[in-house]
Amino acid sequence: MTFDISAFFGYLFNDFLLGGVLTTLWLTVAGVIGGLLAGMLIAMLRMSPSRLLAGFARFYIWFFRGTPLLIQLVVIYTGLPQLGVKFGVLESALIGLILNESAYMAEIVRNGFLAIPEGQREAAWALGVPRWLIVLRITLPQAFRLMIAPLGNSVNALLKATSLASVISVEEVMRRSDMLMQEHFQVLEVYAAAAVFYLALTSLWDLVQRWLERRFSRAHVRATPEVGAGAPVLAASLGRVER
Amino acid sequence: MSGSFDTATRPGPAATAQPILVDILDLDKYYGSVQVLHGVTLTVRRAEKVVICGPSGSGKSTLVRCINGLETFQAGTVLVDRTDIAQPRELDRIRADIGMVFQQFNLFPHMTVLENCMFAPVWVRKMSRAQARELAMHYLETVRIPDKADRYPGQLSGGQQQRVAIARALAMKPKLMLFDEPTSALDPEMVKEVLDTLVDLAQSGMTMVCVTHEMGFARQVADRLVFMDQGRVVEAGPPAQIFDAPQTDRLRAFLSQML
């Protein structure tokens, strides 16, 4: 037995597998957006002065970060019907991914907000800016910049974690690779192609993340020294050195 | 080209004829079990310049922060333009009329200088963007920094940032300006440019309450100097009286360290 290169390339352009890639992609995108929105809500609850709400958020984060996604998916899809609650395959996958991801996102969002100096809120309060607007326009944009790096890790992890949905028969890349493997027994060729697809998707996300980082750090790029107010200071400091 | 501080009120010949703008009565403030303000009473009349000085930990910053409700207090009243600032419903409205400049500038780092100055006029005063831009540029010219309008705060020196912070507060056309040690975080060579701006502002007739260690500035602009120690107002009066005829040992000791 050898590695069949042409079979490998065949799988790279296999419509059936590429269809699975699309499913993986949209599961990830939906998981990220849903997880981020739910995570923001959980983070707000976690930071709220109400002990009940903060306690609920704390429990939520503890529970969904502390149990495997695999168990969450299986319980939602095959366990809950036992209690009379039924979800379809894709619904189950989305619910599981969003519940799990939002627990991580909540902590990322909270850390971002905690890093904003209190002076930012005070300056806005002193201008008479209402609280909701402070969150929307002052603290959130600044927190988001700090969230991008941990968010990047989380998205990367989620992208690969979607492969767990294959266990509840969601036909994403992993599941369809399994199906092809069982049909043709070209284990290395199929899974190598699947790995290439995941690499391509994570690389795509790297590009998006880099763009986000550039976009949100515009304000933090130091301008090149200019002729103007900076120049006399520079001249003064040079003068001091010469003397 | 250069703008001016056109405030609504010009300094009257007799400051006592002006109505009272800030009325602080018997203020008590605790941090936990530590009392930091002991029955502080202070009035500020329109167009008056009050400079508060005192050793660190004397409660002067806390007092100023009580005027716009950044600090809560346990007893006493603070009226600003006859409105009780302890009424939460009124707080945002009152704050919009009180400009505040902080030691650490607290500019919004993700907005340009111009956006910093336009933000509250647009969102709080509901001004059109064009109007707000014109207003913001006017005050940036007043603090002599219009050429930096499209820069971000992180690209400016400390002195420039503090002047932008002053312009940002003025763009709300406040009745009153509070300054909490506005030059304490600045490198020595930048203190003067900020103090010059404050002197210009004082001469325009703005009502000002300023916490500072800059005694030369205090002597130059203050109508009244308030000396605080350990959460109490120890002495208050015109600068000449405070500097040249201090009544208490504590003030004498403080002045001997400062001058």
Report pLDDT for A229.
42
Say what the pLDDT of residue A215 is: 87
Tell me the C-alpha distance between B127 and B182, whole Å.
28
In a domain, A147, yes or no: yes
In a domain, B39, yes or no: yes
Q: Can you list the pairs that B30-36 forms with residues at least 24 positions away whose Cβ atoms lie under 8 Å?
A: B30/B74, B35/B231, B36/B62, B36/B231
pTM score of the predicted model? 0.81
| ipTM rounded to 2 decimals | 0.90
Residue A22 resides in a domain? yes
CATH number of the structural domain spanning residue B172 = 3.40.50.300
Q: Which residue in this structure is represented by tokens 């079979």?
A: A7
Does A29 reside within a domain?
A: yes
Residues of chain B with pLDDT under 50: 1-2, 8-14
Q: Answer yes or no: is B2 within a domain.
A: no
pLDDT of amino acid A222: 55
Distances (CA, A) of B24 to A106, B79, B80, B82, B239: 43, 6, 9, 11, 21
pLDDT at B185: 93
Distance CA A122, CA A125 (A): 5
Q: How many CA atoms lie within 13 A of B170 on its CB side?
A: 32
Q: Total structural domains in chain B?
A: 1
On the CB side of B166, how many CA atoms lie within 13 Å of its CA? 33
Range of the domain at A110: 5-238
A243 assigned to some structural domain? no
Q: What is the pLDDT of residue A163?
A: 94
Q: Per CB distance under 8 Å, which residues of A are interface residues toward B?
A: 117, 119-120, 122-130, 133, 137-138, 141-142, 145, 216, 218-220, 222-223, 228-230, 233, 236
Residue B5 lies in a domain: no
Structure tokens at A99: 């519940």
Q: Which of B106, B112, B152 sits opposite A119 (nearest CB)?
A: B106
The answer to whether B168 contacts A127, with C-beta atoms less than 8 Å apart, is yes
Task: Give the chain B residue whose CA is nearest to the CA of A130.
Answer: B92
Q: For an interface test with B, which of A125, A127, A131 has the most B Cβ atoms less than 10 Å from its Cβ? A: A127
Query: What's the gap in Å between the CA of A219 and the closest CA on chain B?
Result: 5
**Residues of chain A contacting B172 with CB distance shorter than 8 Å:** 127-128
Q: Which is it for strands B20-31 and B75-80: parallel, antiparallel or unpaired?
A: antiparallel
User: What are the 10-residue block averages of pLDDT along chain A, 243 residues in total?
Assistant: 87 92 95 95 93 96 95 94 91 95 95 94 96 93 92 94 92 92 90 95 94 84 46 40 35
pLDDT value for A1: 62
- So what's the pLDDT on residue A3? 87
- Residue among B68, B124, B157 minimizing CB distance to A129: B124
Name chain B contacts of A223, Cβ cutoff 8 Å: 151, 155
Identify the pLDDT of residue A216.
Answer: 85
CATH code for the domain of A31: 1.10.3720.10
Q: Do B106 and A133 touch (CB under 8 A)?
A: no
How many domains does the structure of chain A reveal? 1
Gap from B250 CA to chain A (nearest CA, Å): 32
pLDDT of residue A238: 41
Chain pair A-B, CB pairs under 8 angstroms: 85
Looking at residue A241, its pLDDT comes to 38
Q: Which domain holds residue B221?
A: 20-257
Instruction: Quote the pLDDT of residue A104.
Output: 95
Residue B12 covered by a domain: no
